[in-house]
Chain A
Amino acid sequence: GESVGLHLPTLSVQEGDNSIINCAYSNSASDYFIWYKQESGKGPQFIIDIRSNMDKRQGQRVTVLLNKTVKHLSLQIAATQPGDSAVYFCAETRTGTASKLTFGTGTRLQVTL
């Protein structure tokens, strides 16, 4: 189902440190997961994805971990930079649903100098 939050949780991280953003997804039948970054006044921007047959995937400075047992997804950002400040959403979908995405609540990442 849809995920609507009353407020956005905030993660404050010092520049250069690693960030870990967590997401609990709702549908055990979901088999494809995506992390998006949304800057103020803009649409979501793709960061990294992972399929359910994997438990880890790495990109440039980012790593996604998937734990299907507890329906948990995390995004790790290495050496966080001020430009990483944004709201991060996880999204889930299931094969056969015409790529229909269900978004998580979102987490605001604030990078302090």
Chain B
Amino acid sequence: GAVVSQHPSRVICKSGTSVKIECRSLDFQATTMFWYRQFPKQSLMLMATSNEGSKATYEQGVEKDKFLINHASLTLSTLTVTSAHPEDSSFYICSARPPRGGVLGQPQHFGDGTRLSIL
């Protein structure tokens, strides 16, 4: 149990286009999902916390107009990188928090990431 699916796993697109990444919790409901960014050989950096039915909370230094987050249901959060440029190329990872008091144990379950390459 506790599977988080992220789609697409890899995307290559031209500079200036917008890219949407989906994060789904397949077998549990998640009121909270998290979006991370990871550069090569570096750690995961939290970008934002996505709350179902409300606005996302962004970490300091993350442009909310650049990285649009929507959490419209208890099983789906999306991250849209708007007007993407080469410097936005990175590995984006989502995670979902299982319900409080649930038996899933871990605080977050991670997807397998999306490799974004902007040409």
Contact = CB atoms under 8 A, between A and B. Distances in A.
Contact of B6 (A43, A99, A103): A43
A3 B115 CA distance: 21
Interface string B95-119: 1010000000111111111010000
B32 interface: yes
Interface in B73-93: 93
Contacts, number: 65
B interface SS class: strand
Given A34-B106, A41-B115, A43-B112, A98 B43 contact: no
Given A43-B111, A43-B112, A104 B97 contact: no
Given A41-B113, A43-B4, A100-B34, 5 more contacts: A8-B42, A34-B107, A49-B105, A101-B107, A104-B43
B5 to A, nearest CB: 11
The 4 tightest CB contacts between A and B, nearest first, are A43-B110, A99-B107, A103-B43, A103-B44
B45 to A, nearest CB: 6
B46 interface: yes
Interface of B: 4, 6, 32, 34, 41-46, 49, 59, 93, 95, 97, 105-113, 115
Interface in A11-30: none
A25 to B, nearest CB: 13
Contacts of A52: none
Contacts of A32: 107
B113 A43 contact: yes
A32 B105 CA distance: 12
A interface SS class: loop
Interface residues of A, number: 28
A4 B42 CA distance: 6
A4 B106 contact: no
Contacts of B95: 43
A67 B46 CA distance: 25
